[in-house]
Amino acid sequence: MFNSLRRAFPSSLLLNDANALLYSAKTFTAAMLAYYIALSVGLDRPSWSIITVYIVSQTSVGASLSRSVYRLTGTITGAAMTVVIVPNFVNTPIICSLVLTGWITLCLYFSQLDRTPRAYAFVLAGYTASLIGFPAVFEPGAIFDIAITRVQEIMIGILCASFIHRYVIPKRITGLFNSKLAVTQRDARRMVIDTLKREAGEKEKQLQLALTLQSLDGFAHHLPYDFAISKSSRKARQLIHDRLSRLLVVSNQLHDYLHELNLLPDSIATLVSEVTDWLACEDSTARKAGAERLRRRCVALQHRSSADELNFKEALRVNFVKRLEETIMLLQQCEQLSHALLLAKPEHMIDGAEEAKGYVYHRDHFTAARAALGAFAIIFSGCLLWIYSAWPDGATAVSILGVCCTLFGSFDTPVPHIVKYIAGSVYGVIISLIYSFILLPQVTEFSVLVAVLAPAYLLAGSLQARPPTTFMAMGITLTLPILSELGARYSGDFATAINTAVALFAATGYAVVSMGLLQTVQADSAIRRLLHRCRRDIRYRAKGLSSMNDVAWVNLMIDRTALILPRLPRSNQTADSVLNSLLHYLNIGLAVTYLKRSLNKLEGETALQVNTLLNLLARGAQPGELQKRISLILAINPPVSHQQPHALIEHIIDLHCALKNCALKERDKEQSHDY
């Protein structure tokens, strides 16, 4: 019987349910505490404190506290701007709407550029101005008092949410980060095993690492708010990111070398087999002991193989063994760093902490401006409809419209998320009407009120903790306090409640239509733009116009990969072609950087040919033309054991392999025409 129950309810599902219920109970406790305090101090709308708790609460301590800080910062900024804007422009409604809309969309623009959890502060600065500013046009003289009161109500909600999540059965994000990091390192070893065994789908597994690194960076942003972090720990995390990012590059180069070599000599094949066994070993102590032995073997094999003048295939083998040795080193350094983090002893880090780069974000001003301009058109058109229709509840509708544009503007396809919110709002309105006109009139004590509110909020809170139902749950948790008029005394008004509900659905319905037209980003166009930016950056690097070093380039490409991967299922492009392009643009950029850096050290015909190659890359030449130039460089610079020529040829070979694979797999005109 128990076995059948375990099969029916897997432990992971039970754990998720338990975590969701715990989150819901803690959040409801914080909301009721905030509500009680807001009532006690006589604030105008204590329901805002409840709303704030449900907005800032997250499933971990660090995420909740960081979100609280960003919300407080954004709220104060947004309220201050509202106080500045509304009194100065209230006599000209269109200008006032124009300025308020401009501020909201400016905040959206900066939030799109930031792309870290800090962007939430910009979002809040925008939609706080929307929530306070538009309804306040009817009371411009009271705008300062309204803004101060809203900030106080929100601050109480923030403090209560922070206190409860921090001290009541706290769930540390540090533990989540460490467990995720351990799984990532295990997956990285498996990725290299698949590469060495030439398994199908290895490229997809390589690039899945990019999504994992993005997820780890998301965790890392909240770690300082766990109160168990130091500057050295941050450096250690950055170093781990740099090493894992480099491992993806090396794994792809190993794939290219294996594809080019086809058959390996017995000595290298034996080494590959031993490295594969080492990677599959689950005992960290055994891996540490085996790593040094394998690295010594790799170095010895490199020396034997490069003792004399080499042909192209032999040089490829030397590069292959060198990358094997680098793979072992990178994985061992990651284990050393993660062990230091686990023991909270980051002083045991490896050398190079001062050079740690960490995650590098792709920032696109055009895309951010497009989203902001679309939101501007939507909100301002809503303002014009409100002004010229003289709709009494138009201010409420426009304020909700502003929230929709800022809250959902970061999604490529915002409509499905807004539809979920509308579905939740339908439930929220129904529940609110039941509470307002059936249950609340009979409540006379606060303890009874808490008991009455508990069923709806506990259910909605548990749904909010589950990503698939988060937006639907928010439709309930944000609608219920407002429509139920949870103030100091019961003041239920059916007409007011219905008018507010109509404004809510009018605003969200208008958001669905307008954001579907103006804010939806097609997956194909987004992918093409990202790939174009990769090619443009390669041309800049070939011209010497980029100051980005190798580590920053790799980390930037990791982020671009993480942006492209979720869009592939909605794209008409083949995943294999796009993933191949990403990996080889990454390698081309690295090779170009080295060639540009080494140009001043080269002489004679070699310098001329390398300079010509870089000029061709800068002009966006075809892969075939570039490969001909590479053949000329290899003809006048045979691979030898001397350090400078061999280093040059190593990167020329990397460029050759990357271009060859691009030429083989990018047959369509659009993807093969330039770099």
Confidence of residue 155 (pLDDT cuts 50, 70, 90): very high
Segment 515-528 shows an average pLDDT of 93
Most confident of 56-60, 423-427, 540-544: 423-427
For residue 669, the model assigns a pLDDT of: 43
Higher pLDDT, 640 or 476: 476
Higher pLDDT, 80 or 232: 80
pLDDT greater than 90 at residue 427: yes
Segment 364-389 shows an average pLDDT of 95
Eight-class DSSP state of 117: T
Confidence of residue 8 (pLDDT cuts 50, 70, 90): very low
For residue 432, the model assigns a pLDDT of: 93
For residue 1, the model assigns a pLDDT of: 37
Q: What is the pTM of this model?
A: 0.89
pLDDT greater than 80 at residue 446: yes
For residue 119, the model assigns a pLDDT of: 92
For residue 469, the model assigns a pLDDT of: 92
Higher pLDDT, 601 or 87: 87
For residue 552, the model assigns a pLDDT of: 93
Give the burial string for 201-236 (b: 16+ CB within 10 Å, else e).
ebbebbbbbbebbbebbbbbbbbbbbeebeebbbbb
Higher pLDDT, 438 or 668: 438
CA 113 to chain centre: 12
pLDDT greater than 90 at residue 203: no
388-392 LR contacts (CB < 8 Å, sep 24+) = 392/499
pLDDT greater than 90 at residue 279: yes
Helix segments in 281-350, DSSP class H: 284-305, 312-342
For residue 7, the model assigns a pLDDT of: 46
Higher pLDDT, 216 or 624: 216
For residue 201, the model assigns a pLDDT of: 66
Of the candidates 20, 125, 26, 73, the residue with the CA atom closest to the CA atom of residue 403: 125
Segment 146-172 shows an average pLDDT of 91
Using CA atoms in the order 356, 361, 364, 370, what is the torsion angle rounded to 10 degrees?
-150
CB atoms within 10 A of CB 35: 26
Residues 6 or more apart from 198 whose CB is under 8 A from it?
255, 258
Segment 154-176 shows an average pLDDT of 90
- The full set of domain ranges for the chain reads 15-171+362-518, 173-227+229-343, 523-672
For residue 329, the model assigns a pLDDT of: 95
- Architecture of domain 173-227+229-343 in this structure: Up-down Bundle (1.20)
Confidence of residue 627 (pLDDT cuts 50, 70, 90): confident
Confidence of residue 604 (pLDDT cuts 50, 70, 90): confident
pLDDT greater than 60 at residue 645: no
Segment 625-629 shows an average pLDDT of 84
Question: 325-366 pLDDT, tens per residue?
Answer: 999 999 999 998 888 887 766 555 556 556 778 899 999 999
pLDDT greater than 70 at residue 202: no
For residue 385, the model assigns a pLDDT of: 94
Question: 311-328 pLDDT, tens per residue?
Answer: 778 888 888 999 999 999
Helix segments in 484-622, DSSP class H: 494-518, 523-543, 550-564, 575-598, 604-619
CA gap 651, 654 in Å, rounded: 5
Average pLDDT value for the chain: 86
Confidence of residue 434 (pLDDT cuts 50, 70, 90): very high
pLDDT greater than 50 at residue 668: no
For residue 353, the model assigns a pLDDT of: 58
240 near 551, Cβ under 8 Å?
A: no
Question: 13-47 pLDDT, tens per residue?
Answer: 445 678 889 999 999 999 999 999 999 999 988 99
For residue 51, the model assigns a pLDDT of: 92
Higher pLDDT, 456 or 639: 456
206 near 248, Cβ under 8 Å?
A: yes
CA gap 551, 101 in Å, rounded: 40
Question: 185-195 pLDDT, tens per residue?
Answer: 999 999 999 99
CA gap 537, 543 in Å, rounded: 10
Higher pLDDT, 485 or 71: 71
Residues 6 or more apart from 232 whose CB is under 8 A from it?
346, 347, 349, 353
Percent of the chain surpassing pLDDT 90: 50
Rounded to a whole number of angstroms, the CA Rg of the chain reads 29
- What one-character-per-residue DSSP string does 154-220 give? HHHHHHHHHHHHHHSS---HHHHHHHHHHHHHHHHHHHHHHHHTT-TTHHHHHHHHHHHHHHHHHHH
